[in-house]
Structure 1
């Protein structure tokens, strides 16, 4: 982001924060309007503005530090946690107050029509609605507090059984465990990480795959956890690919050579983990004299570096091969994969994290990320071609998860019709 763009962004953050602070302040005024002690009321108002204005400047300074450093470190993440928690909490409160303001203005408009300018009556805010607004806003507040303390380690196993008519008989019942988006630099609680890894190991799948974003920026971020993640073993191997963060594109490097050296080191880290890194290539997974083809591409994504070369990765494959593709960004499936003349049966992706925030119930599935990615979590099928988007093992920027929990995926391949 250039200097002018950064300045505009910081001004917008300040104005937005001030607007939210002012609107929520209206409910505080309503609740304290009958307080007998004027000094006590003014003291409460002063404390409110000192605290929330201070937080606003703290957030702005943090964003400035992020722009200057070119990366988000753990200290930045803590500030972003506070900022997002307050913004979502305040927005819920503002929805109630704004709704009340619409009604109040309509009532004032009707009184103007009926009585003229001198007879306009502008209703005061009601205490009960301010109490309701503040009470309901405690729900997202408590959810975010849980998300940044416990939710980011609330690992969940998602299982899918997918049927294919042309699956080789030997692979009927074959299982694949997938994790994605470790973002090693964000982790601090390695014991919690090990619990997630142990959960992945406990699935005892035939094949293990990792679909990109091993680190945030630096190759050495994974080093404290090499022993943990290298415990993952599968009878038919462990395979991995590159994600958009793995290139170091979001960091200001002193020179191009340092960036290249970091990427080369990152590729070696995959080998140290015991993962075979697929860089626009494919391998044959053989079982009982039959085989399936596992294809892996470098990152390809709309709005991100599209370095992956699918054609190169599939050179030498036959149209009749049963193929599984590892591609980090699910937008690749929409643009190049699902309509490819050389059929790819199943694509495994990650990247979206489900935005680490949303609602997933049997009735409702929603996250803000759906306005950017139509396929952002779970299984999708078009014309017999499947995409599965993993919600991510780790987290980035916002160091928490609310409603969209870290995921371990288990795919079972079955022979036959759905």
Structure 2
């Protein structure tokens, strides 16, 4: 964060100075001007203070959480409304720069107000604004008995971030309401420690699926992002987390395969440990998971990080029909309207949300059930994915 701080402040102040021109055009209230800049000074002071707080401490995490929300409230409305002023300046350039038009500044402030309310909803209510997203995928070699087979996928629970039991239960009830054949969880049950799940074991135990519940680990589940007193303590934490998967009724797949049978036919469900590019650990072993699996079997793979798809799965010697991932959260911020989809995370991950296809191989990236860092979601709402398999 410290390395990016100068860039963040420059971007912020640049948008502020430009946006301030709209305020000057519409009002000359001295009190409003003082309030406008006072908010900025307080936020900048808060950002700088994070650097001097003990790294990894609860206080630092609390400060970061609050500052992320407040920064988005302050920055996003200004940053995404200033293009109106920029467009006006282009017009003014060819007219020898007359004074700013009041209507353009009012339009700028109106857009900013709408964005402010959207961000405010996202950081107050968006964390439990669950959406069901449905996909139907057809395969010519899907066993006939599995025509119409349904999967409910959730991912990235991050139970250590939860505080609202009613909100979490709302999402779990939505999962059960889909009445899918199986429920698949694709990693990151906790932020760091297995104990974060203790409070939520009864709630997650209530998830039901007639053909079972299966899970894999995500990058946060290994406890790699906090300091442990000993290696033994870290290993004990991971062992406890694996036990919790069983206590909530999920069969945890660790580079292994299970056979799902229906009507005398079968498909193979694979699960690998976390494997990711960009500095993430590569624990997963797809070769181990597929050992002994027939080449012609219909295969579904659970792999937390979507970079595993292009990095390993597409080049694997066995055909993996469908891969289910998570990890990106859709950055918990973005726009999805009328088929248009955008989030800054797209510049980090080529496959970051929704369904992707290469030939006859498919990848679905779930936007996540929970949240991390920012205690909210803006535009990228928490997701319950329902995938229906069809035989062509």
Matches of residues 299-318 of structure 1 in structure 2 within 5 Å? 299-303=274-278, 304-318=280-294
Given the alignment, which residue of 129, 132, 135 partners 1:160?
135
Larger Rg: 1
Q: In the alignment, what sits opposite 1:372? A: 348
Alignment match, 2:42: 54
- Stretches of structure 1 that go unaligned for 5 or more consecutive residues are 1-5, 34-40, 109-121
Counterpart position of 1:28: 23
Equivalent in the alignment of 2:191: 216
Deviations 1:212-251 (A, max 9, x none): 0111112111111111111112222111001111122222
Per the alignment, residue 112 of structure 1 pairs with none
1:17 to 8, 12, 29: 12
Aligned to 2:105: 130
TM-score norm. by structure 2 comes to 0.92
CA–CA separation in structure 2 for the residues paired with 1:166 and 1:351: 29
Q: Structure 1 87/314 Cα, relative in aligned 2: closer, same or farther at 3 Å?
A: same
* 350-359 vs 318-327, which moves further: 350-359
Aligned to 1:45: 33
Give the structure 1 partner of residue 318 of structure 2. Answer: 342
- Check conservation: 2:272, 2:303, Cα contact below 8 A: yes
Say whether residues 1:319 and 2:307 are aligned partners.
no
The answer to whether structure 1 residue 276 and structure 2 residue 251 are counterparts is yes
The structure 1 residue matched to 2:88, chosen from 94, 100, 119, is 100
CA contact (8 A) 2:320 2:361 kept: yes
CA distance in 1, matches of 2:147, 2:388: 8
| Inter-CA distance 180–295: structure 2 relative to 1 (3 Å threshold) | same
Note the alpha carbon deviations across 1:280-339, whole angstroms, 9 max, x for none.
111111223322111100111111222111111111111011111000111111121123
User: 1:61/1:234 Cα in 2 relative to 1: closer, same or farther (>3 Å)?
Assistant: same
**For 2:218 and 2:54, how far apart are their aligned partners in 1?**
21
The number of residue pairs the alignment matches comes to: 391
Cα deviations across residues 12-42 of structure 1 (Å, max 9, x unaligned)?
3333333333332222222334xxxxxxx44
CA separation in 2, counterparts of 1:170 and 1:135?
A: 55
Residue matched to 1:86: 74
Does structure 1 retain, via aligned residues, the 8 Å contact 2:50–2:60? no
Q: For 1:179, which of 146, 154, 163 is the aligned residue?
A: 154
- Separation (CA, whole Å) in 2 of partners of 1:399 and 1:63: 20
Q: Secondary structure at the match of 2:202?
A: helix
Residue matched to 1:36 = none
Contact 1:10/1:63 (8 A) holds in 2? no
With over 3 angstroms needed to count, the CA separation of the structure-2 counterparts of 1:347 and 1:68, relative to structure 1, is: closer
Distance 1:71 1:378, change over 3 A: farther
* d(CA) in 2 for partners of 1:63, 1:337: 40
In structure 2, the residue matched to 1:333 is 309
1:191 deviation in Å? 0.6
> Is contact 1:71–1:251 with CA below 8 Å preserved after alignment?
no
Secondary structure of the residue that 2:183 maps to in structure 1? strand
Contact kept, 8 Å, 1:352 with 1:369, in 2: the verdict is yes
Q: What are the ranges of 5 or more consecutive residues in structure 2 without an aligned counterpart?
A: none
2:2–2:51 contact (8 Å) kept in structure 1: no
Three-state SS of the structure 1 residue aligned to 2:33 is helix
**Contact 1:69-1:252 within 8 A present in 2 as well:** no
> What is the CA RMSD across the aligned residues, in angstroms?
2.2
For 1:293 and 1:66, the matched residues in 2 are separated by 47
Question: Is contact 2:56-2:226 (8 Å) kept?
Answer: no
Cα shift at 1:150: 1.9
> Do 1:330 and 1:351's aligned partners in 2 also have CA atoms closer than 8 Å?
yes
Is the Cα–Cα contact under 8 Å of residues 59 and 80 in structure 1 kept in the other structure? Answer: no
Closer, same or farther: CA 72–192 of 1 in aligned 2, 3 Å = farther
- Among 342, 362, 372, the alignment partner of 1:386 is 362
1:290 matched to 2:265? The reply is yes
